[in-house]
């Protein structure tokens, strides 16, 4: 495999378990937040990771960046194993991998003007002379649509959209190869979300970086992604092109997500799943989705389906029924509205 064919980022069978102490007695409970996640991101490609809150998306983002070390599995960046968090190798690699946070106001230091905060990564990684750093800050601010006078303003003096642009500028200032966006628009007003999404699309296409875009909003993921991975209770249950997922979802959970998207002028029936997602500390046997699945079969209750290409079209899906391995069970946990 040549360097151009090698994925920029690859993660194989990642797993992460947290030990949580609960109650007055201090009983320790193990919560498996990520369970066997495998994914790749090519240079110039955006992978959208979508799922309900608490399904493990943000933990996956931290694992692929090396901020946390997986209990199992391995992350490779540009063909080499990810160095341990805090090691000199990992610190040197940070300028090539950057994170855009969910809440721009929390991500920025309220005491410092944003220009200094955008410049900070250049100083940390000793990139350029002071004059070159100033020029790079001015360049990246222009790239994200900020005016020169914004550099002297503190975060509270900027709008929500301007703050998120400053966070993006800080992430881009080192010219990274990989950008990980963890719910980057969820804290913004709807009117600002479209602006930030369009900015990310334009920057990704122009700069050619790889991107992992984490969101619970399937419409946003569709707009920005080349591929979409659907996550449920720590596992990826389906992966495919955005139009495949949106127009012909294969996994029953993906079908429920897609049915919840409003379509003006259309009266599509919505699939309403019964019950809440299972407790990660008390995962059901077999397929974790089977207690809520409308087509669950007996095998689904005992055997965990693997994420693998479907014989009919090659799309990766983790479902015995969608793979054609078993017939659909009785529709019992389903309401249509």
The dihedral built from the CA positions of residue 239, 243, 248 and 249, taken in this order, carries a sign that is positive
Entry pTM:
0.90
The residues, any chain, with a CB within 8 Å of residue 2's CB and separated by 6 or more, are: none
pLDDT in tens, 31-61: 899 999 999 999 999 999 999 888 999 999 9
Q: Which helix (H) or strand (E) holds 16?
A: strand 9-22
Distance, in Å, from the CA atom of 187 to the CA atom of 216, rounded to the nearest integer, reads 12
Answer yes or no: are the C-beta atoms of 231 and 51 closer than 8 Å.
yes
pLDDT in tens, 287-335: 999 999 988 899 999 999 999 999 888 889 999 999 988 888 754 444 3
Write out the DSSP string of 188-228.
S-HHHHHHHHHHHHHHHHHH--EEEEEES-HHHHHHH-SEE
Distance of CA 12 to the CA centre of its chain: 16
Percent of the chain exceeding pLDDT 90 equals 63
- Rounded to an integer, the average pLDDT of 77-89 is 90
Question: What is the domain partition of the chain in residue ranges?
Answer: 9-247, 251-337
CATH number assigned to the domain covering 9-247: 3.40.50.300
Per-residue confidence band for 264, with pLDDT thresholds at 50, 70 and 90? low
Per-residue confidence band for 1, with pLDDT thresholds at 50, 70 and 90? very low
Closest CA to 333 of 300, 282, 289: 289
Angle between helices 114-124 and 160-172 (to 10 degrees): 20
The two beta strands, 72-77 and 227-232, are unpaired
């Amino acid at each position: 495999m040549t360097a151009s064919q090698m994925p920029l980022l690859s993660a194989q069978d990642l797993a992460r378990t947290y030990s949580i102490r609960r109650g007055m007695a201090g009983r320790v409970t193990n919560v498996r937040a990520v369970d066997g996640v495998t994914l790749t991101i090519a240079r110039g490609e955006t992978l959208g990771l979508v799922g309900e809150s608490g399904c493990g998306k943000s933990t996956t983002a931290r694992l692929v960046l090396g901020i946390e070390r997986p209990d199992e599995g391995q992350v490779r960046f540009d063909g080499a194993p990810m160095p341990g968090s805090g090691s000199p190798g990992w610190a040197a690699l940070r300028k090539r991998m950057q994170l855009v946070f969910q809440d721009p106001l929390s991500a920025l230091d309220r005491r410092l003007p944003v220009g200094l905060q955008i410049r900070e990564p250049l100083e940390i990684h000793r990139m350029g002379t002071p004059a070159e750093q100033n020029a790079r800050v001015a360049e990246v601010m222009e790239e994200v649509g900020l005016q020169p006078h914004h550099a002297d303003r503190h975060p509270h003096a900027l709008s929500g959209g301007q703050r998120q642009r400053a966070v993006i500028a800080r992430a881009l200032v080192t010219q990274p190869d990989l950008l990980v966006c963890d719910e980057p628009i969820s804290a913004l007003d709807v009117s600002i979300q479209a602006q930030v999404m369009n900015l990310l699309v334009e920057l990704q296409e122009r700069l050619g970086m790889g991107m992992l875009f984490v969101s619970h909003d399937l419409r946003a993921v569709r707009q920005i992604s080349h591929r979409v991975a659907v996550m449920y209770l720590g596992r990826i249950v389906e992966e495919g092109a955005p139009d495949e997922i949106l127009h012909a979802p294969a996994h029953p959970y993906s079908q429920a997500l897609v049915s919840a998207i409003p379509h003006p002028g259309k009266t599509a029936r919505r699939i309403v799943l019964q019950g809440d997602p299972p407790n990660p500390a008390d995962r059901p046997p077999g397929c974790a989705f089977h207690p809520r699945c409308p087509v669950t079969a007996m095998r689904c209750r005992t055997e965990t389906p693997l994420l693998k290409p479907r014989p009919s079209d090659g799309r990766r899906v983790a479902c015995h029924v969608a793979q054609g391995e078993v017939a659909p069970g009785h529709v019992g946990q389903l309401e249509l509205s």
